Every structure is written in structure tokens, then in C-alpha cells.
A and B are shown apart, each in its own frame.
Chain A
């Protein structure tokens, strides 16, 4: 167990950062064209199609990355919780 000692603050800061990152990505996934008349904005059907396709790809890419990084944050939290328990036990000489 001794070789698994870790700075609890480091784990907390990592998971906090990842939580922020994941939250930022999740909120950033709302790439929505707020205006309804896309044709009137861009004046070209081909450009509208290209814009919508790119927006769709970016949105999916961000959502996929957000889901993955959120899962990473959860695993970091779980590891941190587990290691906090181990650290307490170690400091009390129980392990």
C-alpha cells in the first residue's frame, strides 16, 4: 500500500479541473444557430449545408470528448476517495 500514497490535494485538484473541463465542454456543446432562417443569413444553400454539416460534426466531437473526460473525472474521484480512505488507515497505522 505504501507505494500508492498520493497527495490528496493533487487528486482533488485534478478531478476539480476535470470537472470544470467537462462542465465547460458540456455547456460548450450547444453550437446552435439561434436564428431560424439560415438561408436568409447566408444567402446560399450550399453554404448553409456546409455550415450545418460542420456544426454537426463539431457538436458531436465535443459531446464525445465531454463524455469521455467526464468519465475520467469520475474515475479520478473514485480513485481519490479510495486513496483518502487508505491514507487515513495508513496514518493511523492500521495498514
Chain B
């Protein structure tokens, strides 16, 4: 029951004081036990014979908790003070309301009695004949009329006092709320804007100064804020905001404020366009560790369930174990890439620049990141964005990265790769879904904004394989900007795409495609665009797209046989694989040699490649842009 103008003292001061006392007791306990204990631990560092890096870290960590615990004590004490004051205010108002109510009842009782008496006198006046008694009756009626007027005036005054009590209660509420919402009670969280009442810039600015603990609290209480920040589509704003937390005297070094944001909202920072790639890598280490811990718990639960139920979960358990092992590799494997001076540089952990375990989404940057900017270094000449084909999962993603890193190994330092799988990729039953590829394409276009601030000298080359080709095309239709584009046995140019004119930011970029003979995976679905089925125009026949030759299993070696089917194009020394490299680095590509089609009357047509002709000379064409 809340207070009203007729009951401004509603509430229970005794119980409010009880709540205040709980907070007082808790503050005292934490202060007397925790704070004192931590202080004694920290002060012991000077006398303990324990030395070394581990000891230093131990004592620094302990000291780091002192301000946080002090804040907790201060907050609880402030809350207690606010509630004590509120209890006093409510009690005072309640007592005054009781007294006022009592007085008002008394006057109302008198008023009722006087009205009754007056009515009686008025009735009697009609029966009195004696003039003297009439005079007396009149006088008495006047006297009671005076009483009644006085009572009514008093009641009006009491009404004004009820209004004053209501005003006092409003003020008391306001003071209590203000104190409970103040910085003394809530720390940095007191100033944070909440969802829906601020601009993106204001929201980001309000996060500055919050500790990692406060950020964790904020997002626990307002999970919608994390979604709102994650949805900010303004890499310039985010980059400027992030740089504002940096130290200009130590460029490239993550500051405590930035560390707090990483630890406070790792899922957001790990995937937020505008945050440097190197920082996203650090945040995603936390996300991967959390995903790994979740799988380990699930595996433990699975074993417990199996032993109780007798059901065999070994196949699923094996899958979980493999994924846990993969996450471990992502976090701990030593990876080595070459810098701009040709020197090998080793780092621990993979550069995961996008990660969302629930969405089965991951992207890995293969190469070194600039130690100052945290982005793509200026010695990188070509950045390939490789999108794999159907059936790709986080568990199989490592195999796709291996494909990417063939290119970084071949062109150390000058080529970097991003292998991208921004969500769930379909299996064979869903591979023909155009809308699915369109959704992923939109995500890829958005992801490309993570390259904000990359040197203009870096050429960006899209390389989509199979279903990934459709994702690439859809991304271009959604605005992805590229310097070159390659459809590797691509399923299509994108949902509802009919020409390069459907690509707003890449229609002028050179587009290439190839598909090996007897590719019965994408061959049958290329060019289909019927409702939700199909992936738009065929990459092999779209005007403006240059078709390339897939050639021999070993380049320039006819004895090795022609590349055939959907997978052989990945053979390391094949013509097809060389074509990928040439598009990526801006080299020279071999144009498609139209086969001779021989109609047989006893079976299907036979395609005879002109590559077998003794005088065959490949037609080469330079790829615009890029440099080896």
C-alpha cells in the first residue's frame, strides 16, 4: 500500500529502520573483517620473506580489492543512512497525520452534533409563540451557526495541513531516492544512462570511469544495454570513444580503463566495430575461455547423466571434447607470422576477431597486427577475406583457416587473411536457401566495418567458396566494399542479384570466378533464383565476371590430369589454387578455355578441354591492383 493525500504517513517506520539496520550491520561486518583482513594481508608484504613475481602479483591483487571493498562499505552505509532518515521522516509524518486525523475527527464530531442541534432549534422555532422565547431561540441558533462556521473554517485549515503533509512526504521520498541513487551508494553506476533515454554517444560516454565490477553489474541489471552497444553501427564514433580511454604516452598499450571495459563486457568489445582488432582478440580470449568452461561443465554433466540413465552419450561427448580441445588451441597455441622486415614474430593464441559461441560464429585474422594501432599493419599489401562453404562449424573452422594460411605462408608479411564464418552455415539440406545466405551476407558487410582505420594501401579481396560465394555476393549487395572479388566454385552472385550493378560499393571492382568440370555440388544450383531457393545469377555467366581456368592438378603439368569436382580446386599446386593466389596478390590469371562439346548419341555430351591440345597456349590477363 502506497501513501495517498489522505494517508501521507503510509509505511512502517519500524520495518524501514530494520532494513537500515541490516545494512549497518553488514557494513560493519565487512569493514571489521574483510577490510581489516585485506589491509593486514597487504601490509604483510613488507615483512614477509616471500618474494618473486608470484608474490608481487598476489599482493597487488589483494591491494586491488581494498578500494572495491571500501566502496561496498560506503555504499551500504549510505543506504542505511538514507533509510534511517526516511524512517524518521515517515514516522514524523505518520504521527502528525494521526494527530491531525484525531483533531479532524473531533471537529467533525462536534460539527455533526452542532448541525443536529441547529436543526432541532430551527424545528422548535416554528412552535415557539412567546416573543422572549423566540428571541432566546434565535440567539441560540446564531450561537450554533457561529460554532458551525468556526468548525468549517477549522476543517478547511486541516485540509491545508493534509496537503502540507503530502508535500512533506513527496519531499521525503525524493530525498531518499536521491540518496539511494547517488554516487555514494552506487558508485560510477549512478551516472549511467539507461536504454532508450540517450544517444549512442551519451551511452558510450557514461561508461567511462566504471570499474570492471561496475560494468559487470550494469549489464547484469540492464542486459538490454549490451545489445544496444553491440548494435551501434558507427565505427568512427566507437573508435574515437575507445581511443579516449587510451594513454597517448603509451600508444597500443591497453590502459586500466580499457581493461575494465574488456573484462566488464567482453562479448560486446570482442565484436564491436571500431574497437581495434587487437583489442577484440583480447576480449575474445575471455569469450572463448567462457565458452570452453561451459562445454566442460556440460561434458561433466553428460557423464553424470550417462552413469545414472545408462544412455550412451559417447558420440556427443566426443564432439564436446573435440570442441574443448579446439578452444584450448585457440587460446594457447603459439602462432608465428612474419613482420614487414621479414622477421618471424611468435604470439600466444590465435587472433580471433569475431566470436559468438551461441551463434556458431567465428572469424580469425591470420597475420600480425600493428602493435600501435592494433589493426592491419601498413606493410600488408593484400587482405583476403575467405568465406568457407556449407557444413562449416566452429569445430571444423580450423581446417578453413589452414586453407587461408597457405596464402600467408606463400606471401609472408605482404598477405594477411581473415577467415570468416559469421553464423550458422547450412548443411546439404539447407544449402540452397537464398535468404540464409543473404542474412549471413549482411553480417559480413557489417563485419567489414571492423576494418575501419585500416591503411588505404591495403587491397581487400573477397574469396567465397561454394555457399560462401553466395555469402560474398550477398555481402557485396549489402554494401561490402572490395578491391577484387573471387567466386571459388561459388553457389551464386547473391539472392536476387542479376548483375554487378546490384553491388553498390564494388560494382567497379574486378570480379572473377571459376568452377572445375564435373562439380556436381554447385553446378546444378548455379543460376537458380526461385523464391527462397537459389543464390542469384551464376558466377560463371554474369556479365562482367571474368571466368578463370581451373586447369591441371599440378600447374603446367598435363600428366597430372585436370582438376575436377568440387574439392580438387584446393589442391595446393594446382592451376586453380594458383589462380586464387594471383587474384589475391594482383598477379596474372589464366582465362577460361571454353571446352569443345561433343554430342554423343549413346550417352551424355562429352566436354573436351582445349588444354589437351598440343599447341594450347593459356591466355593470361593481369589482375588490376595489388603487387607481389
Contact = CB atoms under 8 A, between A and B. Distances in A.
B2 interface: yes
Contacts of B16: 41-42
A17 B173 contact: no
B607 interface: no
Contacts of B44: 10, 13-14
B34 A21 contact: yes
Q: Is the interface of A mostly helix, strand, loop or mixed?
A: helix
Interface string B165-201: 0000100010011001100011101000000000000
Interface stretch (B61-69, B407-415, B491-499): B61-69
How many chain B residues sit at the interface, stated as a range, is 35 or more
A79 B187 CA distance: 34
Central interface residue in B2, B48, B61, B71, by most chain A CB within 10 Å: B2
- Which residue, A33, A43, A58, has most C-beta atoms of chain B within 10 A? A43
Contacts of B216: 60, 64
Given A44-B2, A76-B58, A61 B71 contact: yes
A50 B221 contact: no
Given A42-B16, A58-B76, A60-B216, A51 B83 contact: yes
Contacts of A56: 221
Interface string A70-82: 0010011001000
Interface string B314-348: 00000000000000000000000000000000000
A33 B22 CA distance: 9
A54 B41 CA distance: 30
Contact of B69 (A7, A10, A14, A65): A65
B213 interface: yes
B12 interface: yes
Contacts of B2: 39, 43-45
A79 B54 contact: yes
Contact of B90 (A43, A45, A76): A43
Given A41-B19, A43-B11, A50-B176, A17 B41 contact: yes
Given A3-B52, A43-B1, A50-B177, A20 B37 contact: yes
B454 interface: no
B107 interface: no
Nearest to A66: B34
Contacts, number: 158
A36 to B, nearest CB: 12
B30 A54 contact: no
Contacts of B173: 44, 46-47
Interface residues of A, number: 49
Contact of B33 (A3, A20, A49): A20
A72 B58 contact: yes
A7 B83 contact: no
B229 to A, nearest CB: 19
A39 B1 CA distance: 5
B124 interface: no
Contacts of A18: 37, 41, 62
Interface in B26-81: 26, 29-30, 33-34, 37-38, 40-41, 44, 47-52, 54-55, 58, 61-62, 65, 68-69, 71-72, 75-76, 79
A57 B38 contact: no
Contacts of A43: 1-3, 9-12, 90
Contacts of A65: 65, 68-69, 72, 213
Contacts of A45: 2
A3 to B, nearest CB: 6
Given A6-B49, A43-B3, A51-B180, A61 B68 contact: yes
A4 B54 CA distance: 10
B37 A6 contact: no
A62 B30 CA distance: 10
A42 to B, nearest CB: 6
A51 B19 contact: yes
B144 interface: no
A40 B68 contact: no
9 shortest interchain CB distances as A-B pairs: A43-B11, A6-B50, A43-B10, A50-B180, A60-B217, A21-B37, A50-B177, A17-B37, A64-B213
Given A10-B44, A75-B58, 15 more contacts: A10-B50, A17-B41, A24-B30, A28-B29, A28-B30, A43-B11, A44-B11, A44-B173, A46-B177, A53-B181, A57-B75, A57-B189, A60-B216, A60-B221, A61-B72
Interface of A: 3-7, 10-11, 13-14, 17-18, 20-21, 24-25, 28, 31, 33, 35, 39-47, 49-51, 53-58, 60-62, 64-65, 68-69, 72, 75-76, 79, 83
